[in-house]
């Protein structure tokens, strides 16, 4: 009996350990999108970021997303690093601009893929026996790289009872006590939407041949539209690179020639789920396969969402001009 009990305890213990170990790993693989959460308070009827309501909801929301495995970028931490100053009542365009500027930083931990904007509206109505407080939460989601709108939603309007003489401080306490449940509701809805945009690590989303290596685990990011610029490539070289990007690069989705083609410059729209580091690596391989040397014959630059392949021309040795030449 003792041996049976010990065996059962050991089995149950191993099962519990496996659950606690495996669950976060699964969560992390599903939610591999860096997210920045920002509050929009331009509307004077919305709750200001100075308000305790705003701070408590934001704090709980970040915690809720973090617990679901998302990589959360903190606006205040980035602001301190970059020497910025956060002001109240900022318009939506300014919030988007600041998030994009942070993505141009040389530090990877300043970069976000998804931008979550939320607004909190509160209103109070005096009754003969009490005060009724109403709250409305609106959320919008954007892709900072592709500039795509990823959706929006509103939480159902909530109504709370408060004392008859409830002032501003009282309202802050009444709504602030609900910050955890408000954040949990927002976090659950956001998780459903963002997880659908981030396939599990290890699943291939490409049906093209993976001639440059296995695509297992590479195609787990959001679909991204890049601009690929080829400078000073002749037609056969340019087609050689683009054909390899279409045929051989894992995670390929589509590509198209952009307007403005000339003999010196070609620009392509290139859509892929691969991250920038892998595309940079594969471009170097593709360049070598067409007989050029990365860093010597071709320089590769990455700027924002654009890869620039600049073919270098080496000048031949200069010849002394003949006597009497007018070029002196």
**Where does residue 251 fall: left (phi above 0), alpha (psi -120 to 50 degrees), or beta otherwise?**
left
Least confident of 85-89, 197-201, 251-255: 197-201
Q: What pLDDT does 112 receive? A: 93
What are the chain's domains?
32-197 (3.40.50.10610), 224-311 (3.30.70)
pLDDT band at 144 (very low <50, low <70, confident <90, very high): very high
Give 127-138 pLDDT, tens digit per residue: 888 999 999 999
Residue 174: partners with Cβ closer than 8 Å, 6 or more residues away: 133, 160, 162, 166
Q: What pLDDT does 49 receive? A: 93
Average pLDDT on 184-195 reads 85
Average pLDDT on 194-202 reads 59
Q: What pLDDT does 133 receive? A: 93
Q: Which of 292, 276, 281, 306 is nearest to 233 (CA)?
A: 292
Give 258-315 pLDDT, tens digit per residue: 999 998 999 999 999 898 999 999 999 999 999 999 999 999 999 888 999 999 975 4
Q: What is the mean pLDDT of the chain?
A: 82
Q: Has residue 184 got a pLDDT over 90?
A: no
55 vs 88: CA distance, rounded Å: 13
- Of residues 198 and 30, more confidence is placed in 198
32 vs 38: CA distance, rounded Å: 19
Phi/psi of residue 176, each to 5°? -60, -35
Give 54-87 pLDDT, tens digit per residue: 999 999 899 988 888 888 999 999 999 999 998 8
Q: Has residue 214 got a pLDDT over 60?
A: no
Give 229-242 pLDDT, tens digit per residue: 999 999 999 999 99
Q: Which of 34, 37, 40, 150 is nearest to 94 (CA)?
A: 40
Q: What pLDDT does 83 receive? A: 95
Give 85-104 pLDDT, tens digit per residue: 988 999 999 999 999 999 98
pLDDT band at 29 (very low <50, low <70, confident <90, very high): very low
pTM: 0.74
- Of residues 15 and 96, more confidence is placed in 96
Q: What pLDDT does 14 receive? A: 40
What are the CA-CA distances from residue 116 to residues 46, 202, 256, 267 (Å)? 17, 26, 30, 31
Per-residue buried b or exposed e for 204-223, using 16+ beta carbons within 10 Å of the residue's own CB: bbbeeebebeebeebbbbbb
pLDDT band at 193 (very low <50, low <70, confident <90, very high): confident
């Amino acid at each position: 009996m003792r041996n049976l009990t010990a065996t059962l305890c050991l089995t149950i213990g191993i099962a519990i350990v496996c659950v606690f170990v495996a669950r976060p790993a699964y969560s992390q693989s599903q939610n591999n999108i860096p997210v920045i959460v920002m509050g929009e308070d331009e509307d004077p009827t919305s709750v200001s970021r100075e308000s305790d309501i705003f701070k408590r909801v934001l704090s709980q929301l970040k915690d809720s997303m973090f617990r679901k495995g998302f990589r959360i970028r903190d606006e205040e931490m980035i602001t301190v690093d970059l020497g910025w100053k956060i002001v109240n009542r900022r318009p939506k365009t300014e919030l988007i601009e600041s998030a994009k500027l942070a993505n141009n930083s040389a530090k990877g931990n300043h970069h976000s893929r998804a931008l979550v904007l939320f607004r909190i509206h509160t209103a109070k109505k005096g009754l003969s026996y009490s005060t009724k407080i109403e709250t409305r939460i609106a959320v919008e989601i954007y892709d900072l790289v592709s500039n795509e709108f990823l959706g929006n939603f509103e939480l159902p309007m909530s109504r709370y009872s408060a004392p008859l003489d409830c002032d501003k401080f009282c309202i802050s306490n009444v709504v602030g006590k609900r910050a955890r449940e408000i954040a949990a509701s927002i976090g659950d809805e956001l998780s459903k939407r963002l997880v659908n945009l981030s396939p599990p690590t290890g699943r291939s989303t490409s049906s093209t041949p993976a001639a440059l290596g296995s695509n297992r685990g590479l195609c787990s990011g959001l679909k991204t539209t890049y601009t690929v610029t080829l400078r000073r490539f002749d037609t056969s070289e340019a087609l050689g690179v683009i054909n390899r990007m279409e045929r051989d690069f894992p995670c390929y989705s589509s590509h198209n020639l952009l307007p403005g083609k000339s003999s010196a410059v070609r620009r392509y729209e290139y859509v892929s789920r691969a991250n920038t580091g892998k595309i940079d690596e594969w471009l170097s391989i593709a360049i070598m396969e067409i007989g050029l040397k990365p860093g010597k014959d071709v320089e590769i630059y990455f700027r924002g969402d654009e890869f620039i392949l600049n073919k270098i021309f080496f000048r031949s040795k200069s010849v002394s001009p003949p006597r009497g030449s007018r070029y002196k």
